[in-house]
Structure 1
Amino acid sequence: MNTLARDSDDFRVALWNVDHNGIENNGDQERWEVAMSVLAEIQPHVVLRNELTRADKFGERAVWAEANALGGLIPFLAPASPESVNPTGVFVDPSLIQPVAFFKHVVGMWHPICQPVVRLAGAPRPLTLAAFHLCPFDGDQRATEARRLVMLGGAAAIIGGDRNSYPHRTDLEKNPLPDWSKISDRRHVQHRTIDRAGERVHDTRPDEILAGEHDGPPVFVDLAYYAAMELGQSDALEPTASLWRTDQGPRQRIDSIYATPLVATALRELKVISDERVVKASDHALLVADFSLSALCAVLTPEGATAA
């Protein structure tokens, strides 16, 4: 069972890339049903989703089916692009969260970014949420998309998605980065490497852009590293993909939830779930970030003001 206890001070954010939305080409949706049962047990206040495949069709019927399966969440869907039928989406719990704006970053995006802005009950300042899914095959495109995400770091924010690339720090990672000489999927080698000074190297640029320190504090904090280093939760750095394939080397941590630095201080726990049901539903692990709601509201309260 994936059931995680939730208390009144909990603010829970889930991130999951459910392969092709759990729906097979023949219409079989058993994987989607498994995914929904897993998420329902998690009881998230926010769900950041990748690969809501063709969910923009038929009046966004699949989006509303997911929102209803998760207890009546409010859904937001970024548009599909001419290049991809796999939009990103965000779902929020109306019992705690009031949406105040919705932005869709489309221009130059392989997968447009889904960005609702919300207000938490008891928090005067808004919180930006965003689901992203970086380009799977072009390192330069991924870097451009990561720079677009940096724009969201000017306010309190929690963002998450599939980087399709690697962490820029490797000292605490569970698995080494791929040895390209041993990877049988040679397309994967081209897709996940970039040129630096005439040498093909692992692509870590998106994470460097989002969470690199660059002689000062980062724009975003990778919550897995925060959990590991500040909270002593080494399991937060478990790899996330691929849970299915063996021709692309050992599993890697390519999915991450990020937060702006002050928001990150409200984190209590980050879990990476890859049990039997998660593996049945998708080739990506499920990430769950638990924040202290009171601490988060304090971060979102201007100095000298009092939260409602």
Structure 2
Amino acid sequence: MAQLRFVCWNLEGNGAGDPEVRRAAAETLRRLQPDIVLRQEMFRADERGHTIFNEQCRELDMQGVLGPGACTAILFNPRRLNLVRDWSGDRGPHFVLPPTAITLKFPEAGPDASPFNVVSFHFAYASAEQRQLEAEWTTTWADKGWQAPDDSRHVLPAIYGGDANSYPEPGAPGDLPLPDLSAIQDRPHRLHRSRRGPDGVRVPDTEPDHTLRTAGLEDVARHLATAEGGDPAALARTVNSSASHGPDSRIDRVYVTAGLLPAVTGVEVHEVSLGVSDHHIPVVTMDSTVFADVLTGYPRTSART
């Protein structure tokens, strides 16, 4: 079965300015054989005319788009995917760390197949209210119109991945439990990852996940774990527990519009050492034939641009 592989990684500080860390990170990504890489914390990758970013693309033999402020990026395999549009500057004022959003074509699906949007996001670290605003605006890339060659219009399918700095809503058996806030020793962090509930008591922040799923985006790990014969390993941690920041958590997640779910064949989390990054790497695989079929048969409806 031919596959497409989507990799999502918040590489801490983009290697913290250390070329050796970046090279080790590139080797890790090469082993994962990605077709699309959704990156967060691309800090300083835009310096000296994108020198660092261009090097990171070359090391993976990929093309890429670096989003506003070198906060996020998307790299893609140019032998399988073609860049159609860069949307990254369209929603800048609403984000502390702006997302990267692009439209890609999958030539294997044929010339009449729908393109699809890809979004790399990194929601705000310190404010639940800001994350809520960012999540709401992020959903707009699941509502982008496209004019097909036959002049019909439809909403583009979309794939999202990033660091949500918040928790998934409960409800998936086997998912990591929400933290006991009183056990988080770092009081600012306790504030950053929570919000006031209706009774005035602070609760772990799950609103960004709720917002994305309300807009029709599905957490692929949750989908795969709850499907018949599902794989609970898809719900593995992406951030390790610590004395100051609380228990293991699934902060990094990949979402897709529901029409793409039939193509999803696997979700795994590739763990990396803390010397490289403080986040592990979710990897989503899709059956490329099913993915192509979905794009070819994507329903034509009215849509906003």
Give the TM-score taking structure 1 as reference length.
Answer: 0.87
In the alignment, what sits opposite 2:150?
none
- Supply the distance in 2 between the matched residues of 1:56 and 1:242 (Cα, whole angstroms): 29
Counterparts of residues 256-275 of structure 1 (less than 5 Å): 256-274=253-271
Question: Would you say the 8 A contact 1:38–1:278 is kept in 2?
Answer: no
In the alignment, what sits opposite 1:100?
84
Paired residue type of 1:61: T
Give the fraction of aligned pairs with identical amino acids, expressed as a percent. Answer: 31
Task: Indicate how the Cα distance of structure 1 residues 227 and 40 shifts in structure 2: closer, same or farther if over 3 A, else same.
Answer: same
Matched, 1:19 2:12: yes
Matched, 1:66 2:52: no
User: Shift in Å at residue 21 of structure 1?
Assistant: 0.5
Counterparts of residues 1-308 of structure 1 (less than 5 Å): 9-23=2-16, 27-71=17-61, 73-80=62-69, 87-104=71-88, 105-123=91-109, 124-154=113-143, 155-197=156-198, 198-212=200-214, 219-230=216-227, 232-242=230-240, 245-274=242-271, 277-302=272-297
SS of 2:68 mapped into structure 1: coil
User: Shift in Å at residue 211 of structure 1?
Assistant: 1.3
| Runs of 5+ consecutive residues of structure 2 not aligned to the other structure | 144-155, 301-305
Task: Indicate how the Cα distance of structure 1 residues 262 and 191 shifts in structure 2: closer, same or farther if over 3 A, else same.
Answer: same
User: Shift in Å at residue 122 of structure 1?
Assistant: 2.7
- Supply the distance in 2 between the matched residues of 1:286 and 1:278 (Cα, whole angstroms): 11
Question: Would you say the 8 A contact 2:238–2:269 is kept in 1?
Answer: yes
SS of 1:107 mapped into structure 2: helix
SS of 2:87 mapped into structure 1: strand
Larger CA deviation: 202-211 vs 29-38:
29-38
Question: Would you say the 8 A contact 2:220–2:256 is kept in 1?
Answer: yes
| Runs of 5+ consecutive residues of structure 1 not aligned to the other structure | 1-6, 81-85, 213-217
Question: Would you say the 8 A contact 1:132–1:162 is kept in 2?
Answer: yes
- Supply the distance in 1 between the matched residues of 2:135 and 2:265 (Cα, whole angstroms): 26
- Cα-to-partner distance string for 1:152-211 (whole Å, 9 max, x where unaligned): 122201110000000012442443222122221111111011122222111100000001
User: Shift in Å at residue 302 of structure 1?
Assistant: 3.1
SS of 2:203 mapped into structure 1: strand
